[in-house]
Chain A
Amino acid sequence: MRDWKHGFLAITLVAGASFAGTANAQGTLRIGMTAADIPLTTGQTDQGGEGMRFIGYTLYDPLVSWDLLSADRPSELVPGLATEWSVNEDDQTVWTFKLREGVTFHDGSPFTAETAVWNFDKLLDESSEQYDPRQSAQGRSRIPTVESYRAIDEYTLEITTTEPDATLPYQLSWILMSSQANWEALDKDWERVAQEPSGTGPWQMETFVPRERAEMVPFKDYWDAERVPQLDSMILIPLPEPNARSAALLSGQVDWIEAPAPDTIPAMEGNGFVISSNTYPHNWTWHLSRLDGSPWNDINVRKAANLAIDREGMGALLGGLMVPAEGFLPPSSNWFGEPEFEVRYDPEAAKELLAEAGYGPDNRLAVKALISPSGSGQMLPLPMNEYVQQNLAAIGIDVEFSVVEWNQMINLWRAGAADPAVEGAESINFSYFVQDPFTGLIRHLSCDLIAPDGTNWGHYCDPEMQALFEEIQTTFDVEAQNEVLRRTHEKYVDDALFLMVAHDVAPRALSPRVEGYVQAQNWFQNFSSITMTD
């Protein structure tokens, strides 16, 4: 019976592929995720970048998407469910989005401007029938300046922002479109939608067992012929423990694992497994307190600390799976610019700068740092922080750690450096998603977002930086905006505003049977090109 079903599925898919003229169903890809549960399936995902990668950009589409098809350049925004967008020249708070025609959800219902409005209401309008607090918690903060929205006609959407905000297209890449018809068919119950989700994405849900597995199959009517999946199916399995993930791959129970433990990589490579990695917009930093009395207010101290870190040595510690930081953004970023301060390993120069700041062998500087033993995106925080501690001690900075569990760390990050719960720590080790202007740069240092009203943990506020942020938000030409972003990043580096240590390279280990994967320089990835060999 099972074989018969598989046979039928294969025949159906092949027939669909022939019809579409592109698909070529081949095999099943089993993925071991680092998450402890299948990310939220109703539309707006949880579990951060991993949730968006595996459930978000597979089952769903945003209006504005990312180019995930090439590995050799940073990803850029591309049309998604919107084919084009523009801002009103007279009133820069009003945007018009032309929507893609002929797109259907997995349940067969059409995607229109009304559906898009319904989706914004599910996140932003607490009085609407479809408002979902869980999705809202994940999506609302991604579109902070969206004030209103309306359907002009079937395929034209208008969005109005509270103030001119040229970063809106980046923000919209987070917002995923769920099917209204599916929600209505399932008694308007999001819990039922979680079991039977319906998006417009290249994959559709076949089987969903919470905490255990999600099985997806290709959506043969997907609007983008280039991204119709070639596999028969893709299975997501939560495997949060690194050794369990590695063992599952080595014993052939999964074909792909996220974030293999560095010390298992030689064994994997020795057994023919492929370690795939690429630079991507992620960093591993110490966010510094700029409250009165913080030693990090002295630029010489900040620069000295940045020059004290032996990043090559840390790379060896991580089995080569990091890019040494040269700034806050990865060196390959479009927005890196040409900062004057060279972030490098130079302990002698560091000692001189520290001496200028009034510290030396007889007057060592003592600082306190908040760190966590684990956490999403935190790489290997304990050995990495101990390495930083040794490097800083070598130039005369003594670090005392305050180690808190990751969940508590998020609370303390939200609370900000001035909160009593932080107990005087002058820095917090936090890794950041730096893929878009707001999430990557603005939210960390904007005067408007000083904690606890935002995520400016260190209470930094600088008029010059604030002017740059405003310029980013009011520069609507993409190239001109990129230029402002470069200047902003140059100031990040030249003022040594963070202790800039490393960038993760998103390592994943693949079975030699996995073919056709291109690792985009992005948090999200394209799985449609993948096939499995026998």
Chain B
Amino acid sequence: MFVYFLRRLILVMPVAFGVSVICFMLVQIAPGDPLTAIMPVDATAEQQAAMRAAYGLDKPLPVQYVVWVGNLIQGDMGRSIATGRPVADEVFGAVQNSLLLAVSAAIIAFPIGVLLGFVAGYFRDTILDRIVTAISIAGVSVPNYWLGIVLVIIFSVNLGWLPSMGAGPGGSQDWSWNWSHLRHLILPAATLAVVPIGIVARTVRALAGDILSMDFVLALYAKGMSRGDVIRHVARNAAATALSVMGLQLGYLLGGSILIETVFNWPGSGYLLSNAIFQRDLPLLQGTILVLALFFVAMNLVVDVAQAAIDPRIKRT
């Protein structure tokens, strides 16, 4: 197991390098000048050149990349062009907020998705299966920012039960699980959970159906095993894949929630990313993308290792 982990860890290195190159290059090829936000509207050519030199943007791209990576290795992600604040402070604060949202969404999505999928798989081709399938397709298909707006209209504007925006009382979110904080979490987390519910349900349905039709299930029944025990065996066989799907979803939830965080004004990484894009804040953009991408890589690693731990057949293949 340790050797498997080590092998996977070594494989992460070139991936991380590739990710850093792509992060750096992607934002370089986008149109627009990153210094627009802070330069006087009528800055002379000399002033613009001086500003570019001050931020190191006058150097060739490979040199800029080497300087950037060198600083990264020393833990320096630079300073935001728009605000002057350290990028690391901005990104890690935002990632923490997004992680809280993503974990909350996963806590909602995983059991519901698994339950729905298992029910549909177990009762395949029945009315129950069709209802669950319709729910999961709807979950995957409905634009979740639209759903967020609808939930806000119902639960915030009309009923006044839950706040429509912000991450917590007083503005800032933390990991306090009291009612005041939970109230701010419920709507964005529920909205964010809808897509993974659909994906997990569909995956588990397919898996459960396949496993139930396998010979070993017949053999279990033939041995006189109870329905509950058989379900436990099926669940064990399906767990690794379901976990893998959910793990990848957590990565998507963290990085792919720009619209949800915008709708709910949630100060997370998606929201930060959209601000960085609109302000063409190069260091902030690079830092945010890099951290999210590396998180995704790390999630893949964790999922692979967890899968291997659950299902020993995986590390042999």
Contact = CB atoms under 8 A, between A and B. Distances in A.
Of B82, B163, B165, the most chain A CB neighbours within 10 A belong to B165
Interface string B100-119: 00000000000000000000
Given A209-B171, A449-B42, A406 B278 contact: yes
Contacts of B165: 239, 244, 247-248, 253
B300 interface: no
Interface in A407-440: 407-408, 410-411, 414
A443 interface: yes
A375 B282 CA distance: 19
Contact of B278 (A137, A238, A407): A407
A329 B274 CA distance: 34
A241 B54 contact: no
Contact of B42 (A190, A237, A240, A443): A443
Contact of B85 (A133, A210, A250, A454): A210
A210 B284 CA distance: 14
Contacts of B33: 407, 411
Interface string A123-150: 0000000000110011011001000000
Nearest to B279: A407
A40 B157 CA distance: 32
Interface string B266-288: 01000110010011100000000
A51 to B, nearest CB: 12
A211 interface: yes
Contacts of A443: 42
Contact of A138 (B32, B40, B160): B40
Contacts of A213: 170-171
Nearest to A136: B40
Interface string B218-256: 000000000000000000000000000000000000000
Nearest to B84: A134
Contact of A251 (B45, B160, B271): B160
Contacts of B31: 404-405, 408, 411
A36 B85 contact: no
B64 interface: no
B20 interface: no
Given A36-B275, A243-B263, A253-B164, A455 B82 contact: no
Contacts of A46: 37-38, 82
Contacts of B85: 191, 210
A37 interface: yes
B280 A210 contact: no
Most chain-A Cβ atoms within 10 A of its Cβ — which of B38, B45, B54?
A: B38
B164 A251 contact: yes
B263 A137 contact: no
A159 to B, nearest CB: 19
A109 B234 CA distance: 75
B44 interface: yes
A453 interface: yes
A190 to B, nearest CB: 8
Interface in B165-209: 165-167, 170-172
A247 B156 contact: yes
Contact of B264 (A141, A191, A244, A449): A244
Nearest to A213: B171
A194 B31 CA distance: 31
Contacts, number: 126
B149 interface: yes
B263 A244 contact: yes
A309 B152 CA distance: 38
A205 B291 CA distance: 32
B36 interface: yes
A406 B40 CA distance: 16
Contacts of B278: 36, 405-407
Contact of B54 (A133, A212, A404, A449): A133
A512 interface: no
A239 to B, nearest CB: 6
Interface residues of A, number: 46
A36 B258 CA distance: 14
A448 to B, nearest CB: 11
Contacts of A140: 40
A241 B265 contact: yes
Contact of B84 (A191, A243, A407): A191
Interface string A180-221: 000000000011001000000000000001111100000000
B166 A237 contact: yes
B40 A141 contact: yes
A313 interface: no
A452 interface: yes
A453 B44 contact: yes
Contacts of B84: 134, 190-191, 194
Contacts of B42: 141, 144, 414, 443, 449, 453-455
A255 B43 CA distance: 38
A418 to B, nearest CB: 14
Nearest to A40: B83
B40 A241 contact: no
B82 to A, nearest CB: 7
Contacts of A243: 149, 263
B96 interface: no
Contacts of A237: 166, 171, 265
Contacts of A240: 262, 275
Contacts of B152: 247, 251
A262 interface: no
A181 to B, nearest CB: 22
Contacts of A191: 84-85
A427 B85 CA distance: 37
A453 B171 contact: no
B275 A37 contact: yes
Contacts of A238: 265
B138 interface: no
B283 to A, nearest CB: 14
A253 B263 contact: no
A272 interface: no
19 contacts: A138-B40, A210-B90, A211-B267, A213-B170, A244-B264, A248-B265, A250-B156, A251-B157, A251-B164, A253-B166, A404-B31, A410-B36, A411-B36, A414-B36, A414-B42, A414-B43, A449-B42, A452-B45, A453-B42
5 tightest Cβ-Cβ pairs between the two chains A and B? A141-B40, A251-B156, A213-B171, A247-B164, A212-B171
Interface of B: 31-33, 36-45, 51, 54, 82-85, 90, 149, 152-153, 156-157, 160, 163-167, 170-172, 262-265, 267, 271-272, 275, 278-280
Given A194-B84, A244-B264, 16 more contacts: A36-B278, A134-B84, A137-B38, A144-B42, A211-B90, A212-B267, A237-B166, A237-B171, A244-B265, A248-B265, A250-B156, A253-B164, A406-B278, A411-B33, A411-B36, A414-B36
